[in-house]
């Protein structure tokens, strides 16, 4: 249980982050919520407060790497400590590799990889000082295998696994635990907000995304895994079979990925 613990969630104004915030609120966690949209973030805060949780919000664009340490210090100061951080914020992509501007590659890597890295490196000394902590990180099944129209996105998600599994190994004896959250198709706005080759929003809900698992169902699995400090949780539907095909039949996996619909 998270009761009386402090939980910081990034990407908390919608989708998985919002749904998890409500579950943590029901457990009476002290909540810190971060996202780019202040209006939506305030709505989520109001619901969490109504549920009886303490809740503060910080509107922030994680592509601004320069000031992330200041954001993290504000989050630490809100309740004096952070027991669990859920580094959930991210942005996806809908463009072929050679068509994609390097600025888009860079933005995706900054938001999806470098921002979580900077937050974790700032938080961990305080967590260790307080006896440990849990770092949950949203990767993706695209962090398990390359996927059409997702070159930068998949790269950022692969990188999260490399970095945070290393953190788990290095700081296990300091009671730092990492939970890798690996969603498949969840019904969120991730495809709508995805970046196209020139950096414009995709502004469409992908068919696969639209028929995906509900955020409420996904959040139950994720929060349970975070509470139990499980190393990894796969969340989604039949698309998760691709993770196991990649693991046990890599040749078949490569053939299937070439044929799979990227939307």
Where exactly are the structural domains of the chain? 6-259
Q: How confident is the model at residue 136 (pLDDT cuts 50, 70, 90)?
A: very high
pLDDT at position 263, please? 56
The yes-or-no verdict on residue 3 having pLDDT over 80 is: no
The yes-or-no verdict on residue 23 having pLDDT over 70 is: yes
* Percent residues over pLDDT 90 in the chain: 92
Q: Is the Cβ–Cβ distance between 150 and 100 less than 8 Å?
A: no
pLDDT at position 211, please? 84
| Mean pLDDT, residues 216-234 | 98
In terms of Cα–Cα distance, which of 92, 93, 85, 49 is closest to 68? 85
22 counts as catalytic = no
pLDDT at position 205, please? 85
A 10 A CB-CB count for 66 gives: 7
Q: At residue 115, what are phi and psi to the nearest 5 degrees?
A: -65, -50
pLDDT at position 262, please? 57
Catalytic residue among 153, 171, 192, 244: 153
| Rounded Cα gap, residues 225 and 223, in angstroms | 5
| pTM for the whole structure | 0.95
| Rounded Cα gap, residues 121 and 188, in angstroms | 29
pLDDT digits (tens, 9 = 90+) for 60-104: 999 999 999 999 999 999 999 999 999 999 999 999 999 999 999
Query: What are all long-range contacts of 38-41, with beta carbons under 8 Å and residues at least 24 apart?
Result: 40/13, 40/14, 41/12, 41/13
Residue 204, Cα to own-chain centre: how many angstroms? Answer: 21
Architecture of the CATH domain 6-259: 3-Layer(aba) Sandwich (3.40)
């Amino acid at each position: 249980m998270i009761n009386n613990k402090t939980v910081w969630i990034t990407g908390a104004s919608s989708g998985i982050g919002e749904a998890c915030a409500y579950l943590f609120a029901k457990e009476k966690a002290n909540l810190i919520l971060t996202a780019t949209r202040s209006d939506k973030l305030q709505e989520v805060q109001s619901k969490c407060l109504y549920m009886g949780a303490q809740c503060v919000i910080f509107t922030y664009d994680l592509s601004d790497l320069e000031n992330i340490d200041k954001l993290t210090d504000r989050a630490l100061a809100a309740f004096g400590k952070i027991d669990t951080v859920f580094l959930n914020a991210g942005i996806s992509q809908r463009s072929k590799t050679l068509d994609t501007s390097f600025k888009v590659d860079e933005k995706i890597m900054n938001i999806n990889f470098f921002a979580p890295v900077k937050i974790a490196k700032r938080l961990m000394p305080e967590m260790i000082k307080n006896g440990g902590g849990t770092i949950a990180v949203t990767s993706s099944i695209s962090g398990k295998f390359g996927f059409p129209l997702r070159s930068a996105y998949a790269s950022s998600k692969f990188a999260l696994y490399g970095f945070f599994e290393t953190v788990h190994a290095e700081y296990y004896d300091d009671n730092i635990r990492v939970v890798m959250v690996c969603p498949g198709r969840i019904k969120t706005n991730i495809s709508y907000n995805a970046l196209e080759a020139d950096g414009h929003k995709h502004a469409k809900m992908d068919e696969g995304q639209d028929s995906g698992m509900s955020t409420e169902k996904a959040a139950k699995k994720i929060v349970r895994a975070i509470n139990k400090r499980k190393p990894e949780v796969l969340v989604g539907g039949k698309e998760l079979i691709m993770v196991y095909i990649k693991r046990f039949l890599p040749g078949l996996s490569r053939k299937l990925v070439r044929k799979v619909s990227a939307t």
